[in-house]
Structure 1
Amino acid sequence: MKRNRSVFFTLFFLLAAVTSAFAQQLPGESKLGEAEAPVSMEQATTQVPQAVAAEKSADLTLSLEECVEMGLNQNPTIIAARKQLMASESSVKSQRGQFGAGMSMSYGYTHSSDQPRSGSTPSAYQDQWGLGINVSQPIFMGFELLSKYQKTKLQRDQSDAQLYNAELVLIRNIQEAFLTLLQGRMEVKSNQDSVARLQSQLGVIQAFYQVGLRPRADVLQAEVELATAEQSLLKANNSVASKTARLNTLLNLPLDKKVDYTGELTYLPFSMTLEQCIVRADKDRPDLRIAMKAVKISEEDVTISESSFYPKLTADFNYNSAGGDPSVSTNRYNYKNRPDSWDVGANVNWNFFNWGETYYDVQKSKETVDKIKADYDNTRLEASYEIKDQLLSLKAAADRIRVGRKSVESGREGYRMEMARYQAQVSTNNDVLNAQSRLSASEAQLIEALSDYQVALARLFVAMGVKNPSLKTS
């Protein structure tokens, strides 16, 4: 009798302890039977576990906008694009110099085997030094110089657009890395919560097993589920470490540098229509500007090819001095011992027949113009498709957020009810574990939807050619 009484009190104590432990609400959960106000899209992020806190020993704290600004200042890809732009600026200045007069100079020494003579009279030094200077000013080069100058200016504009495009690509990569890092941290927290729930469930099952209310198989099943959850937590932690290293790389920071990347995945309403996005892209997308500049450059190449049809006109000034010593200061064989002479004149050079070489070169340049125009049209079509695709991804992610938050609400309530039923001995261990699995899956789906939404938003801004470091939509 005493033994039965002690078993009864033991069982009563265990049930009371278990009931007290699980009477507490899960995070974000309402009490059973209470009406809960609808959750807005803006509040969807409160439905999932928030990212784990960063290490307190972090050397640096960066938000999304600060990450983008640092990347634009330090990333080697952007530095290379800026150097290319500076090279294009120098090329413009170099080509501009072609309009001015060119000056050349020659200086040399000549030894003749015999004394130069005119008849029997010496006419020049046997050892002679000479100096020559030429100044040539282009007057008309068949529009070649002007076209080449315009071409280099277009190439400079193209390099500027390429720099802008490189910045957009880097912004997109940084934002995607940052957002997936936040997603990974939230998944770590979700997995930690899952492990905590399974540990509590294992404690309950062990308590019931010790008093003979549950079989050993339930304990083993709970242990397997807990080990699986711990494996998922380890994978999530490793994924966060990898994503942190990736973000450090994009910011040109040491891989092992401890940085506190602060932020959260939130719903940001986007109201622009497809037509508005396409209009914005036509104005701002750098690849469209690059393609348009390529068309204009090819048109300048046509003019450069056609310049061979025209004569070339230059004005020239020549100065020559010759003497018997390195200073070329005197020459006894010249009038009044003068060593120098000069002349000025104009020259026309016209290659008017070359068996069709120029004609076909022009035809080739014109065909290239048509080809590049077709490439531009294709680039514009692809840009429109990219915008449409990202808008669809954005809408799909928003719909998944709406469905996901309801799924998390239901999953939390279902898990709480199954735990209560299990404590009341009207449910099985499988029911509790299935409810826990459904809750973890619904949290993961909502976290993924929030991440996909902001990633699609980042890609959409890049598709429009818009720099938006903070991803603000208002």
Structure 2
Amino acid sequence: MSRKKCRRLPLVSALATGLFLLNTSISMAEIPELSLDDSIAMALKNNPSIQMAIADKEKAAWGIKENEAGKLPTLSLMSGYNRSPGSSSPTDSFNNSLKLNWSLYTGGRVEGQINQAKLNADVASLGVTKAQEQLKLDTTTAYYNVLQGHNVVKVNQETVDNLTQHLKNVKAQYQVGTIAKSDLLRSEVELANAEQNLTKAQNNYDVAVASFNNMTGMPMDSQNIMKDDLTYVKYDMSLEDSIKMAQEKRPEIAQSKDNLAIATTGIKIADSGRLPTVAVSANDGLSGSDFPGQNNNWSIGVSASWNIFDAGVTNSKVKEAKANEDKVKAGDQQIRQGIELEVRQAYLSMKEAEARIETSKVAVSKAAEDLKASQAKYYAGVGTNIDVIDAQMALTQANTNATQASYDYNVNKAKLEKAAGLGVK
């Protein structure tokens, strides 16, 4: 090889290494880092559930306009043409008229419908808040599921690594004849089982990532780096204060109050059938054989009507509306009890997980110490392979319990904050 070619080799190698590092840095830079707050903001922007709630709110707002139109006059234009055969020649006739109707008094029916429409609009507006709070919880849970999946993969990967190293040592001892073949076979079986658990954990992690992407409106195959972690942050409010806050701030309770007012207004609307109605009408028309007509006819008047007997229709509507009010009252009580139960369940589950966090840390420390001791004894020839494998399984379980306790605490804390209405403004 020539000296010139020899000089080129280090240069080519350096360029190749530089390109590799550059591509690696670009690849890492392309993976976005997402905090929990970033994820929630994305979900609120992209998730269809919020868009549906906003559409319901807009629909209810137009419902107010629709019912308010009942207090305004209406104007209609009508036109007609007739051709009749006569004895000598056909006769043409034209009729054109402009009519105005204005209901001055409806017994409170129109006013009640407007009030109901406004209450429905408020219910829909609270529905947006309700959807936002639920989506925040769902996104938080999805975010924590990804973190939990990653932690479980890590625990199982450490188990596979430890058992792989242990198997190497077992093989070495078996080759020199210091241990029985059963130790080798048992170690191989345990490693195979651990590899299967790792495969399952990886699949659960991939599913969690896809679910998170779906929740936040990202492509299903997107990869992200989670900036936050399953850390312990103490919840300071008492159970009683959490329940009290929930009764004051939860949008479901405000919606229930509006629904009760809607039901009460429905009774007044139904009862309006017992009262008279008053309306103004006016008509201006042209008729004749030539379009638009030569004869002008106009009229204006006030009319009143009072349904003295309607065969019990109005009474039945009132009874129906009162029964609906009773149902809504029972539903209001059910909603309040359900919210209190939701708060209690989340609070107690959070406290239970909180207690497990400390005990699981102690268990991990003891299990790691026991594994080292079991390995040392086995490699010194005074312990058994079963002791090492049992110690490894105990450490895996302790690590799994620790990450599960942290996950359970954070998820139930998020559920409690949602149940208490902590994020509602």
Contact 1:209 1:215 in 2 (8 A): yes
What is the CA deviation profile of residues 157-190 of structure 1, one whole-angstrom value per residue up to 9, with x for unaligned ones? 1111222222222222211111111111001111
1:275 to 235, 240, 251: 240
Residue in 1 aligned with 2:163? 198
2:98 to 112, 123, 133: 133
Contact 2:96 2:292 in 1 (8 A): no
> C-alpha separation between the residues in 2 aligned to 1:394 and 1:96?
49
The residue type equivalent to 2:351 in the other structure is: K
> C-alpha separation between the residues in 2 aligned to 1:294 and 1:423?
74
Deviation at 1:341, TM superposition (A): 2.9
1:66 equivalent to 2:71? Answer no
Residue in 2 aligned with 1:31? none
1:101 equivalent to 2:82? Answer no
1:379 equivalent to 2:335? Answer yes
Deviation at 1:58, TM superposition (A): 4.8
The residue type equivalent to 2:211 in the other structure is: R
The residue type equivalent to 1:277 in the other structure is: S
What is the CA deviation profile of residues 296-352 of structure 1, one whole-angstrom value per residue up to 9, with x for unaligned ones? 111111111011101110122211111222233xx2xxxxxxx32322221102112
> C-alpha separation between the residues in 1 aligned to 2:240 and 2:304?
57
1:284 equivalent to 2:244? Answer no
1:254 equivalent to 2:254? Answer no
The residue type equivalent to 2:347 in the other structure is: L
Q: Helix, strand or coil: the match of 1:56?
A: helix
Q: Helix, strand or coil: the match of 2:28?
A: coil
> C-alpha separation between the residues in 1 aligned to 2:241 and 2:96?
69
Contact 2:156 2:194 in 1 (8 A): yes
Q: Which moved more, 1:371-380 or 1:209-218?
A: 209-218
Residue in 2 aligned with 1:360? 316
Contact 1:171 1:467 in 2 (8 A): no
1:76 equivalent to 2:41? Answer no
1:461 equivalent to 2:417? Answer yes
Q: Helix, strand or coil: the match of 1:268?
A: coil
1:301 to 239, 246, 266: 266
Contact 1:57 1:258 in 2 (8 A): no
What is the CA deviation profile of residues 224-260 of structure 1, one whole-angstrom value per residue up to 9, with x for unaligned ones? 1111111111111111111111111112222122333
Q: Which has the higher contact order (CA 8 A, sep 6+)?
A: 1
Deviation at 1:114, TM superposition (A): 4.7
Deviation at 1:370, TM superposition (A): 1.1
Residue in 1 aligned with 2:373? 417
- Stretches of structure 2 lacking an aligned partner (at least 5 in a row): 1-26
What is the CA deviation profile of residues 372-423 of structure 1, one whole-angstrom value per residue up to 9, with x for unaligned ones? 1011001101110110111000000001111111101111111112122223
Contact 2:39 2:216 in 1 (8 A): yes
**Which structure has greater helix proportion?**
2
The residue type equivalent to 1:184 in the other structure is: G
Contact 1:58 1:259 in 2 (8 A): no
Residue in 1 aligned with 2:139? 174
Q: Helix, strand or coil: the match of 1:105?
A: strand
Contact 2:349 2:412 in 1 (8 A): yes
RMSD between aligned alpha carbons? 1.7
Give the aligned length. Answer: 396
2:150 to 185, 189, 200: 185
> C-alpha separation between the residues in 1 aligned to 2:39 and 2:45?
10
1:160 to 101, 125, 139: 125
- Stretches of structure 1 lacking an aligned partner (at least 5 in a row): 1-54, 116-124, 332-338, 469-474
Q: Helix, strand or coil: the match of 2:193?
A: helix
Residue in 2 aligned with 1:322? 287
1:408 to 364, 375, 381: 364
Q: So what's the TM-score if we normalise by structure 1? A: 0.80
> Which structure has the larger Rg?
1
Deviation at 1:81, TM superposition (A): 1.3
Identity of aligned residues (%): 29
> C-alpha separation between the residues in 2 aligned to 1:394 and 1:114?
93
Q: Helix, strand or coil: the match of 2:307?
A: coil
> C-alpha separation between the residues in 2 aligned to 1:285 and 1:155?
17
> C-alpha separation between the residues in 1 aligned to 2:382 and 2:365?
23
Deviation at 1:363, TM superposition (A): 1.3
Deviation at 1:98, TM superposition (A): 1.8
The residue type equivalent to 1:319 in the other structure is: D
The residue type equivalent to 2:59 in the other structure is: A
Q: Which moved more, 1:125-134 or 1:421-430?
A: 125-134
Write the mapping of 1:230-249 to structure 2, written as runs, cut at 5 A. Answer: 230-249=195-214
